Chain A
Amino acid sequence: MTSFVQGRQLTLMLSGEIDHHGASILMRWCGEKIAEYLPKTCILDFRDVSFMDSSGIAVVIQTHRRMRELNGEVILRDIPPQSWKVLHAAGIERIAKVERSVPV
C-alpha cells in the first residue's frame, strides 16, 4: 500500500484483497496516514483492489468518520466492478463521493 500527498489532499492507494483478515491492519494504516497529514480531502484509490468483501465497507466508514472529525471529505476513486457492487449494496455513495480518473 502506498500513499501520496498533494497540498492538503491525501491519496491512499489500496491494493490486493480486502477482507476481514487484513482489515485491521488496513484500517490502522489509513487512520495513521490521516493523523499524520490531517488532510482536507482523503482519496481512497481502489484501482489495484482485486477483491473486496464487506470489510471494505467498514474501512470506508471509518475513514469517513475520521475525515468528518477534520471537517474534510472522502473521495472513492476508480472502484473496480466487484468492489463497487459491495460498496453500492451498502449505499456508500451517501457518505463518500465516487469518481473515476480514467475512462471506463
Chain B
Amino acid sequence: MKSAENYMQLEFPSKSINESFARSAVAAFAARLDPTMEELGDIKTAVSEAVTNCIVHAYPDSIGVILIRCKILKDNVLDIVVKDRGCGISDLTLAMKPLFSTGNEERSGMGFTIMESFMTALKVTSRVGKGTTVHMKRKIIDRGESR
C-alpha cells in the first residue's frame, strides 16, 4: 500500500442491504479527490454493479464475504478492488458480454458493460471454486488544474 496516498478496506457479508452501504462508502472515500457529480455517480454505479454480482452470482445460495479495497494513487486515480471467495466464473468472455446474464429477470446483464464504460480501466480475474476479483480504476479530473 506504500504507493497509495490513502487507502481503505471494507469487509462485509453478501447481503443485498449492503449494496447501498458499499457504494456510499466508496463515494465518501473518493470525496477528497473533489469529483464532479457525474464522476461520483459513475463510481457509485460501478461499485454497485460489482457488489451486486458478488451477492447474486458469487454466493447464489449462501452468504459469503465481500472485500473492497480502495486506494488513491497519484494523478488523482481512484483504484477499487471488489473481491469475493465465491463460485467463480467459468467463461469470463461470455459473462462480460452485454445483455448476457445467468440471473433471473431481475437482472439486465449490463453489469460488466457498465463497469467497463463508466471506469477508466477494468480487469476481472476469476477461478472456478475460488472466487472473482474485479479491479477498477477511475481517473478523477483535477478541476483545480483546469481552471
Contact = CB atoms under 8 A, between A and B. Distances in A.
A82 B52 contact: no
B48 A89 contact: no
Interface residues on B, range: 20 to 34
B41 A82 contact: yes
Contacts of A23: 106
A3 interface: no
B140 interface: no
A90 B16 CA distance: 23
Given A20-B56, A62-B105, A54 B110 contact: yes
Please report whether the interface of chain A is mostly helix, strand, loop or mixed according to DSSP: helix
Interface string B113-130: 110011000000000000
A7 interface: no
B107 interface: yes
Contacts, number: 75
Majority DSSP secondary structure for residues of B touching A = helix
A89 B114 contact: yes
Interface string B86-126: 00000000000000000001111011011001100000000
B16 A20 contact: yes
- A-B CB proximity, top 5 nearest: A82-B41, A21-B16, A57-B108, A53-B48, A54-B110
Interface in A16-54: 17, 19-21, 23-24, 27, 51-54
A17 B16 contact: no
A90 B42 CA distance: 15
Interface string B64-83: 00000000000000000000
Interface in A46-71: 51-55, 57-58, 61-62
Nearest to B38: A81
Interface of B: 16-17, 19-20, 23, 37-38, 41-42, 44-45, 48-49, 52, 55-56, 105-108, 110-111, 113-114, 117-118
Contacts of B38: 81-82, 85
A82 B49 CA distance: 14
B105 to A, nearest CB: 6
Q: In the complex, which of the residues A17, A19, A82 has the most CB atoms of chain B within 10 Å of its own CB atom?
A: A19
Contacts of A90: 108, 110, 113
Given A57-B110, A58-B106, A61-B108, A19 B20 contact: yes
